[in-house]
Structures are given as structure tokens and as C-alpha cells.
Amino acid sequence: MELKNIQIRLREAIKNSGIPQKKIAKDINVSPQTVSKYMKLDIFPALDTFAKLCKVLDVKSDYILGIDCYE
């Protein structure tokens, strides 16, 4: 899977979570502007931040990364 597709899945997970971006930013220790950049597909989080995001969003990293063991 290409990085752009991974970024799109991450953006959708953030949007669908219903959690305000400011709260997500606080929970993963980044600025709200950084979360906004994730949403605009400008940047992708560092691996440790990505792991925190998955936990906060309650989404499996395998889904975001396009690794689906159930297909």
C-alpha cells in the first residue's frame, strides 16, 4: 500500500472517531497544528506517535497500514 493511501486511512480514522482534534493532540503529545497536518495529508506521524494515535482512536494499525489478515 502506498503512503498516500495509508495517510487517507489515518485521516478517515481521525474524522470517524468523533474526538476533537485538540483532544487527540493532547492525548498523543503533539500540537493541534500537527494533527491538522495529518488531516491535510501533509505529514505522517512518527512510529511512536502513530502507535499512540491508533490507541487513542481505537483503531488497529493493521487496518491503517493496509495489512488485513481477514481478507
**Would you call 31 helix, strand, or coil by DSSP?**
coil
Per-domain residue ranges of the chain: 3-58
Q: Evaluate whether the domain defined by 3-58 bears CATH number 3.40.50.300.
A: no
Cell 487527540: give the residue.
24
Predicted pLDDT at 35: 96
Overall pTM surpassing 0.75 (yes/no): yes
> Exposed, middle or buried: residue 38 (CB in 10 Å: 0-12, 13-18, 19+)?
buried
Q: Distance between CA atoms of 5 and 22, rounded to whole angstroms? A: 24
Q: Judge contact between 39 and 11, C-beta under 8 A.
A: yes
Residue-wise pLDDT for 46-57, tens only, equals 999 999 999 999
pLDDT for the residue numbered 70: 52
